[in-house]
Amino acid sequence: MTQRHLVSRRSVLKAAALGAAGTGAASLVDSPTFFTRRAAAQDAIRVIMIADPWVDTIQTLGDDYEKETGVAVEVESYPYDQTHQKEVLLGTQQSDAADVIVLDSPWVGEFAEAGIVEDLKPRVDATPDLQWDDFIPSYRAVADWKGQIVGVPFAPYYVMLHYRKDLFESEELEPPKTYDEWRSIAETFTNNPEYPDFYGVAMNNAKGAPVGQAWFEYIWNVGGKPFESNFPGSEDPYADMTPMIDSPEGLEVANLFNDMLQYEPEGALNMAWDERVQAFASGKVAMISAWSVRTPLLIDPSRSQVADKFATAVVPAKEGVTPVPPLGGWVLGINAHSGNADAAWDFITWLTSPEVHKRFVLLGGPPARTSQLTDPELVEKFWWFPTLAESAKTAYPDCRPRVPESFQIIDTVGNYLSQALSGGMSTEDAMASANTDITSLLEGAGYNV
C-alpha cells in the first residue's frame, strides 16, 4: 500500500468522525483532504469516490496504472452522504482538487445541470476502442442526461433476492415470485422453534436515504410510480412531476414495510445497507433483497457464515406485476474544473477497457459490460451473474429519480417513512406530508406539477 493510500484511509476515518459529530460543510472544506491539499501535481490522477467494497480494488489497479504509465493515482473515499457533499462542494467552489468524480446514478441530473462534471459525449464519440455499445444498456442509459454523457458506466448494481437455499430445500420452498409468497416465507422462518433466534427478512429501514431509496425500489414492483409521467416505458419520465408518494400504491409500499417489521431482527429500524447484509452473512435471516455489489462479500467464508448456503433470484413483485429490479451504481465522471482532464480521460478509458475492467470484476468489482455477464470465466467464478443478466432485462434507468432534486426527494420520503415505521405518524399522514413537501420543492424548482 502506498503512502497516498494511507492518507486516503485516514481521510475516511476523519470524514466519518466529522459526520458523526455533526460538523458542517465549512469544517469539511477546511479538513486536510482534497479541498485544501494542492500538492498533487499534473502527474497524478486524483479520484474521489464512495467507500464501497471495491475501493481496495481501485487502489490496486491504480498502482498497476502507475507502473504502466508513470502516472500516479490518488484515491480518497467517503461514506455515502459525505461523498455527495464533497463532490457538490467541488462544483460550487469550482475546485480543481479532484480529477475523477465517481457519482451515483440519482446524482446524474444534479451534477450535469450544475456543471460539476464535463460532458463526455465528445470524448466517447472520439474513442471507438471504449466499445460504448458493450456497456449494459440499462446502465448506459443512466449515464445519459438529456444527450449529455455524465460519466462512463463503471460499477452498476442490481438488487437481487438472496435466500438461504439450504433452508428453502429443507422446507421444500421455491424462491418467492410474489410479495404474498415472500411474506409467507418470512413468516415461516420467524418465531419458529425449529429456527431459534432466526428471522424471515432484513430490510433497509434506517431514516433518510436508506429507507427513502428502498421506497423507490419497491414502488415499481407494486405497479406504482412516484411521479405522474415517471414509469417504465415513459417517453419523458420528467414531463409531469406531479408527486404520487401518497397514491394507493405509495401507501401500499409504506404499509408493506410496516407489516414486514414483525419478521425482522431486533434493531430493524436502524438497519441500512451494511447492517442488512451483515444480518444475512451472520446466518440470522432467511432472505434479503440486496445490491449485487455486496454479493461477493457473502461468498467469502472469512466474512460470511452462509458462503455456500445461499442462492439468488430476481426480486419478487406484487401478483400480476412484472418485476422491475432496482438499478443503481456508479459512473466515472471528470471534474469540470480539473486541470488534468485529458489525463483523467486516459485513466477512465484504461480502467473501463474490456481487459482491465474484467480484472476489476475478477477481483470482486461489479460487471459493467454485457459481454461480462456471459463470460465463461466470470460466470464460473460468480455464479449469480445469470440473475444479474435477467435483472438487467427489465431494470428501469429512472427507478430512482435522476433530477437535480433527487437527493432531497429521497431524503424527504425516507424521513417521513421512518416516522411511520417508528410509530410517530400514521403511514397515511407520513406519505401525505412527504407528498406535500416534495410538491412544494418541485414547484419551487419550476417543474410541471
DSSP per-residue codes, 35-101: TT-----TTEEEEEEE--TTHHHHHHHHHHHHHHHS-EEEEEEE-HHHHHHHHHHHHHTT--S-SEE
For residues 31 and 102, membership in a common domain is answered with yes
For residues 21 and 150, membership in a common domain is answered with yes
Query: What's 125's domain CATH number?
Result: 3.40.190.10
Residue 4, pLDDT score = 31
189 is in which domain, residue-wise? 159-326+402-444
Residue 15, pLDDT score = 34
For residues 151 and 269, membership in a common domain is answered with no
Minimum mean pLDDT range among 4-13, 183-192, 325-334, 435-444: 4-13
For residues 318 and 331, membership in a common domain is answered with no
End position of a domain, from candidates 356, 372, 394: 394
For residues 333 and 320, membership in a common domain is answered with no
Which tens digits make up the pLDDT trace of 25-76? 343 344 444 434 433 445 699 999 999 888 999 999 999 999 999 999 999 9
Residue 16: CB partners within 8 Å, gap ≥ 6? 78, 79, 82
Residue 42, pLDDT score = 53
Average pLDDT over residues 282-292: 97
Tell whether 171 is covered by a domain.
yes
User: How many structural domains compose the chain?
Assistant: 2
Q: Supply the mean pLDDT for the chain.
A: 90
Distance from C-alpha of 14 to C-alpha of 33, rounded to nearest angstrom:
10
pTM (2 d.p.): 0.86
Residue 21, pLDDT score = 31
Distance from C-alpha of 7 to C-alpha of 9, rounded to nearest angstrom:
6
Q: Does residue 395 contact residue 326 with C-beta atoms inside 8 Å?
A: yes
For residues 173 and 310, membership in a common domain is answered with yes
For residues 176 and 244, membership in a common domain is answered with yes
pLDDT higher than 60, residue 214: yes
Tell whether 227 is covered by a domain.
yes
Residue 2, pLDDT score = 31
For residues 241 and 350, membership in a common domain is answered with no
For residues 174 and 56, membership in a common domain is answered with no
Residue 94: CB partners within 8 Å, gap ≥ 6? 337
Tell whether 129 is covered by a domain.
yes
End position of a domain, from candidates 356, 378, 394: 394
Average pLDDT over residues 369-373: 97
Distance from C-alpha of 255 to C-alpha of 302, rounded to nearest angstrom:
37
For residues 145 and 180, membership in a common domain is answered with no
Tell whether 449 is covered by a domain.
no
Average pLDDT over residues 90-108: 95
pLDDT over 90 percentage in the chain: 88
Q: Does residue 354 contact residue 132 with C-beta atoms inside 8 Å?
A: no
Residue 5, pLDDT score = 31
Average pLDDT over residues 119-134: 97
Residue 19, pLDDT score = 33
For residues 372 and 387, membership in a common domain is answered with yes
For residues 311 and 414, membership in a common domain is answered with yes
Which tens digits make up the pLDDT trace of 46-56? 999 999 888 99
Q: Identify which of 316, 317, 371 has the alpha carbon closest to the alpha carbon of residue 137.
A: 371
Average pLDDT over residues 186-202: 97
